[in-house]
Amino acid sequence: MIITRTPFRISFFGGGTDYPVYYQQHDGLVLSTTINKYCYITCRYLPPFFDHKFRGRYMRKRELTAAADEFEHPSIRECLKFLEVEDGVEIIHTSDIPAMSGIGSSSSFTVGCLNALHALNGRMVTKRKLAYDAIHVEQDLIGEHVGSQDQVAAAFGGMNKIEFNRNEEIRVHPITIGKEKIEYLQRSLMFFFSGFSRNASEIAREQIETTPMHLSDLLEMKQMVTEAIQILNGPHEDITDFGRLMHDSWKIKRSLTSKISNTAIDDIYTTARKAGALGGKLCGAGGGGFILLFVPPEKQPAVKKALHGLLLVPFRFEQLGSHVIFHSA
């Protein structure tokens, strides 16, 4: 039996430039971090006593199939087929965060599933291979309208600048800043669940289709990655500029497609800003899920009171990425 633990991610800047339709022509750049909220995949070989060969359990659904390509769950089906798994297996998924929440849950599932199946077969693969394989499964085999940052973040872990080059090469650069500053940054972030669920692929489809009309906006969002890193590497007292930059980025992102925001989300964001938040963003493609806010610690009680109807979710940054936490022959 194998159990993998794969983190979810928060993308700060550069989202949208990680879609192949953009970076294959212009190069992409993203600043993101993984957090201590995880997807768990338990995987084991099934004994040959059942009238089915494969078993999958996820959310509230259970699938029993005779062949891998009979799975309704697209990631389980394509991971099994991609790795040419012939022996019967059981795959069980549990998660700290609900699906369709905007923090890369589907990609964390795919990365964790691939990692577990590799380990079950006696293979320990690199983080880079996990990332590339997960991108291939989601974009090419499933045909999802997704970018490439979530898979990389889930596989590698940590806070990183991620480059997506036109030649399909992906480079991951860990961000190294002082302990005091990283602690202040973490204390200044509030993470609220909006309660809205959405399908990232559906929202991303419109953004992908309109990419040629927003090249200047995406260039500006990409340049914000460099500016954000300069803030993190600059004087401690300038760290609040990170929050203001998040606000600038959000104003651009919500203009990319009508599906990124809505009246309810705009009201939440405006309320938070009036209560003391310097900036923020919807995590993921948009439309709902988690809202990340940059709020100086002294302003957080007021923001929490103003958004009392939303669930505040504590979190910490994490560094490990997808890894095997249990292995038993």
Question: Which of the two residues, 101 and 98, has the higher pLDDT score?
Answer: 98
Q: What is the pLDDT of residue 197?
A: 59
How high does pLDDT run on average in the chain?
Answer: 91
User: Can you point out the beta strands (E) in 89-158?
Assistant: 89-95
pLDDT at 196: 62
Question: Does residue 205 carry a pLDDT above 80?
Answer: no
* Whole-angstrom distance, CA of residue 164 vs CA of residue 54: 36
Q: Which domains does the chain have, with CATH numbers?
A: 2-175+318-327 (3.30.230.10), 179-317 (3.30.70.890)
pLDDT at res. 288:
65
**Which of 26-40, 231-245, 283-297 has the weakest average pLDDT?**
283-297
CA distance 85 to 59: 23
Q: What is the mean pLDDT of residues 201-207?
A: 65
Q: Is residue 204 pLDDT above 90, yes or no?
A: no
Write down the pLDDT at residue 202. 63
The CB density around residue 222, as the number of other CB atoms within 10 Å, is: 23
pLDDT for position 208: 74
Phi then psi for residue 23, to 5 deg, are -75, -15
pLDDT given for residue 181 in this prediction: 92
Percent of the chain with pLDDT over 70: 93
Q: Is the pTM here over 0.85, yes or no?
A: yes
Q: Which of 198 and 264 is assigned the larger pLDDT?
A: 264
* pLDDT attached to residue 268: 92
The whole-number pLDDT of residue 49 equals: 84
> Is 74 strand, coil or helix?
helix
pLDDT at 256: 75
Predicted confidence at residue 285, as pLDDT, reads: 55
Maximum Cα–Cα distance for the chain, whole Å?
A: 65
In 3D space, the residue among 280, 292, 245 whose CA is nearest the CA of residue 101 turns out to be 292
| Cα–Cα distance for residue pair 279/273, rounded to 1 Å | 7
pLDDT of residue 32: 97
CB atoms inside a 10 Å sphere around CB 286: 26
Q: Which residues are CB-contacts of 90 (< 8 A; sequence separation ≥ 6)?
A: 42, 43, 44, 45, 46, 54, 55, 56, 57
| Average pLDDT of the segment spanning 2-25 | 95
Within 27-64, residue ranges assigned H as helices are none
Whether 199 shows a pLDDT value over 60: the answer reads no
Report whether pLDDT(200) > 70: no
The count of other CB atoms within 10 Å of the CB of residue 176 is 10
The reported pLDDT for the residue numbered 237 is 85
* pLDDT at position 201 over 70: no
Average pLDDT estimate for 179-206: 80
- Helical H runs in 188-314? 200-209, 215-233, 240-253, 263-275, 300-306
Task: Identify the CA nearest to 152 among candidates 189, 204, 110, 90.
Answer: 110
| Confidence band of 213 (pLDDT split at 50, 70, 90) | confident
Distance from C-alpha of 71 to C-alpha of 58, rounded to nearest angstrom: 12
Pick the range with the lowest mean pLDDT from 184-188, 197-201, 251-255: 197-201
36-50, 54-68, 249-263, 296-310, range with the lowest pLDDT: 249-263
**pLDDT confidence of residue 168:** 87
d(CA 3, CA 44): 9
The pLDDT assigned to 265 comes to 86
Q: Please say whether the beta carbons of 161 and 152 come within 8 A.
A: no
Output phi, psi for 55, to 5 deg: -140, 135
Q: How far is Cα of residue 62 from the mean position of the Cα atoms in its chain?
A: 25
Residue 212: per-residue pLDDT: 78
Q: Which of 87-91, 158-162, 272-276, 325-329 has the lowest mean pLDDT?
A: 325-329
